[in-house]
Amino acid sequence: QVQLVESGGGLVQAGGSLRLSCAASGGDFTIYTMGWFRQVPRKEREFVAGISWSGSKTNYADSVKGRFTISRDNAKKTVYLQMNGVSPEDTAVYYCGARIFGGPTDSASDYRYWGQGTQVTVSS
C-alpha cells in the first residue's frame, strides 16, 4: 500500500511562487509515475503535470506550461511542483497521484494512489 502526503500549500499573492511536495511511503517509489492534479468545487479533478519514474519524461497541462515545473527525488521518495507566476485561476486543492505502470498521462483514472490534497489559494 502506498501512502502519499502533500504539503506546501497556502496563501500566495498573484505573481508569486509556491513549491508543493508530495512524500511517498510504502511500495517502491522508484517505479511510480507521479502526477499532480488540482480540483475546485463542483469540477472534475484536472491534470497539472506528470513525471515518469526516472524523471526523463514530463508532461504539462497547457495552462501551466512555462510557469510550473515538476521534479522528483527518488532517494527522498518525493515529487515536487514548483509553481511560479501564479494567478487566481490556479486556486484549487492540489493532489498528487501515483501510477504503477505507464507514462505521465493526463487522466486521473490512470493513477491508482492519491494523497489527501493541499489547498493553494492565490489572491489578486
9-65 pLDDT, tens digit each: 999 999 999 999 999 998 888 889 999 999 999 999 999 999 999 999 999 999 999
- Look at the block and give the residue holding cell 487522466: 107
Q: How confident is the model at residue 101 (pLDDT cuts 50, 70, 90)?
A: confident
Examine the pLDDT at 1 and tell me if it is beyond 90: no
Examine the pLDDT at 79 and tell me if it is beyond 90: yes
DSSP characters over 4-50: EEEE--EEEETT--EEEEEEEESS-GGG-EEEEEEE-TTS--EEEEE
Q: In the prediction, which pLDDT does 31 show?
A: 87
Q: In the prediction, which pLDDT does 27 show?
A: 86
